A and B are shown apart, each in its own frame.
Chain A
């Protein structure tokens, strides 16, 4: 079962062996976090941020070890290809040093597992760890149970040329995994971080993942998440950024797997002139469900935020987007734009898009738009008159709709990986391979 008592018991059974268990501040956060979770329970529709995605079913949900796991070495080899970069591999929620290849780092860069960072520089981790109060109750569960994750810290002015890849492979033996990644990019530093979530098998499993990012003044951070969990996994994740003056942060969320995936993605502009790009693409079929819940907090003036989410919805699936934008009273000349476009591939699929704008300043530009549509008949006809059969034409147009989201990924190798992941999901991907 996955009710509150089960997780309390899980906490009591594991807290003593979690990394950093001997650190009083961390033990304290974990204890408060599990009690907060126990108090609040799983969010239900009554919760204002969860009214399209209830987790009430979790009380009756049994999670079991997957029994099988992706061949970690093969999966890694497929992802890596020829790409350079810093590769950290986690199997079943624990860092796997043998599969990882962190590679050479410039002076002023720290990159390791969270467990190692807790052992070597716990004070820095403490400042970045967050508290039991962050987010909703699933984030508190993560704070209480996270067994590992990545630690990246860039000193002032340090640039990581190659991307950091965090590969989280579901293990065969665990029914749940809880990962926490902490990223600190000091002033004027630059990096790209990619999180891959991979799973296999038919069992119901749970992943919670929290990534916290501190992007200081004029730093540039690109975050890309590729969620390719197993079909019966529940994936509850939170990406939480804070930006300093002039900092640029981009979040790309590609959600292709899992039975239910919830992505809470937020940033706060703590200095003037910040820029944020939130880009997302999801593909669902069957009875699967994905919910992107974003929050952009224009707390300071002259910030720019752009949100683009696109969904491909097939079968009886449901895609939800909520875009919350808060413009503080003094955040004049803020510029916020959001779009959510969904392509319905079946009559039973459902898309919800909801902007939530809270604007307290008067000199601002804010816009939002949402569309829900089907494959365009004119385009279909045009392709067919050129000799493409209907199936090929439909697949091409479906891919074309999605690729607009992928085009916003700047780095060509990452764009290519993202395309390959999309092709693997779409039926008839082999027809389109030449598009890669």
Chain B
């Protein structure tokens, strides 16, 4: 479904992704872990189309399309969803308007009839219940004054409403208490299906207690330095990221845990 080959990207002349390879098949959940500054968020933003990052090499193919050539909104309409690490506050725009505009933009693209106000409300209220959001959040401005957990729930709500084919969660678990973490995990697990793929970017293995990944990758200095099964996440939890050297090479003897926190 998604083939990333030798992806290189930089911001303001500084190279961040330095030849990244990743292959995700439909139905799979991949976890990407790595220390701060390893390029996790850059990868997510590049896939979503952020033009602050310059792609300097490599390719990304998504369902036989050149993903990098697609405008941001085309990617979204075709079913790519990015759950933001820091969801943006938009004062003056109600969450209800925002969610409906987003859902209808995607539905229109897929040849589905746009929701009218009543249908939309029925749908959104059901999904809000599932993520434990009160109805009042529909009538507040997008993310404005939301707590960290409320913002993340709002991201999961959007993901559920937009029914993406490829969802990327960028540290959606960071700063969450255990209840909110379960909401995020539950949102992801409900979305799992043979047609969909998910990439879960996380610093901690904690989330992976609830979302069981098919593959775990370790990102360091802009490259994937190790891939493995679920047990790799547990190993990282135990040893921390200290065993990854400054230039991304893997030391044979792990250093004590917690070195790169």
Contacts and interface: CB of A to CB of B under 8 A. Distances in A.
Interface of A: 376-379, 381-390, 392, 396-397, 399-404, 407, 434-435
Interface stretch (B71-79, B172-180, B195-203): B71-79
Contacts of B109: 387
Given A386-B102, A400-B91, A402-B92, 17 more contacts: A377-B52, A381-B48, A381-B49, A381-B88, A382-B84, A382-B87, A382-B88, A386-B98, A387-B109, A388-B101, A388-B105, A389-B73, A396-B93, A400-B141, A401-B92, A434-B100, A435-B93
A301 B77 CA distance: 59
Contacts of B71: 384, 389-390
A378 B45 CA distance: 11
Contacts of A403: 92
Contact of A387 (B92, B93, B102): B102
Interface in B78-105: 81-82, 84, 87-88, 90-94, 97-98, 100-102, 105
Question: Can you list the 9 inter-chain pairs with the closest CB atoms, starting with the nearest?
Answer: A400-B92, A387-B105, A386-B102, A384-B72, A382-B88, A387-B76, A403-B92, A400-B93, A387-B106
B220 interface: no
A399 B97 CA distance: 13
B162 interface: yes
A399 B92 CA distance: 8
A378 B97 contact: no
Given A384-B76, A387-B109, A388-B105, A379 B92 contact: no
B76 A381 contact: no
A294 B109 CA distance: 49
B158 interface: yes
B92 to A, nearest CB: 3
A144 to B, nearest CB: 43
Contacts of B91: 400, 404
B123 interface: no
B97 A385 contact: no
A435 B105 contact: no
Contacts of A386: 76, 98, 101-102, 105, 158, 162
A161 to B, nearest CB: 27
Given A385-B48, A387-B102, A378 B88 contact: yes
Interface residues of B, number: 32
B226 interface: no
Nearest to A431: B101
A383 B105 CA distance: 11
Contacts of B73: 384-385, 387-390
Contacts of A396: 93, 101
Contacts of A379: 88, 90
B11 to A, nearest CB: 13
B2 to A, nearest CB: 16
B65 interface: no
A307 B177 CA distance: 41
B50 interface: yes
A379 to B, nearest CB: 5
19 contacts: A377-B52, A381-B88, A382-B88, A383-B98, A384-B76, A385-B76, A385-B84, A386-B101, A387-B73, A387-B162, A388-B73, A388-B101, A390-B71, A396-B93, A401-B92, A403-B92, A404-B92, A434-B97, A435-B94
Q: Which of A384, A389, A397 has the most CB of B within 10 A?
A: A384
Q: Which of A384, A387, A390 has the most CB of B within 10 A?
A: A387
Nearest to A397: B90
Contacts of A377: 52
B92 A392 contact: no
B148 to A, nearest CB: 16
A147 B158 CA distance: 58
A219 B208 CA distance: 63
B57 to A, nearest CB: 23
Contacts of A404: 91-92
Q: Which of B72, B81, B100, B102 has the most CB of A within 10 A?
A: B72
Contacts of A378: 88
Contacts of A434: 97, 100, 117
Contacts of B49: 381, 384-385
Contacts of B97: 434-435
B117 to A, nearest CB: 8
A398 to B, nearest CB: 10
A390 B76 CA distance: 13
Given A379-B90, A399-B92, A403-B92, A385 B101 contact: no
B82 A385 contact: yes
A18 to B, nearest CB: 45
Interface string B174-200: 000000000000000000000000000
Q: Which of B50, B73, B84 has the most CB of A within 10 A?
A: B73
Contacts of B50: 381
Nearest to B106: A387
A399 B100 CA distance: 17
Contacts of B81: 385
A94 to B, nearest CB: 40
A86 B131 CA distance: 49
Nearest to A393: B73
Nearest to A387: B105
Contacts of A384: 49, 71-73, 76
Nearest to A406: B92
A53 B82 CA distance: 48
Interface in B28-87: 48-50, 52, 71-73, 75-77, 81-82, 84, 87
Nearest to A434: B97
Nearest to B82: A385
Nearest to B72: A384
Nearest to B84: A382
Interface in B92-129: 92-94, 97-98, 100-102, 105-106, 109, 117
Contacts of A389: 71, 73, 105
A385 B72 contact: yes
A396 B92 CA distance: 9
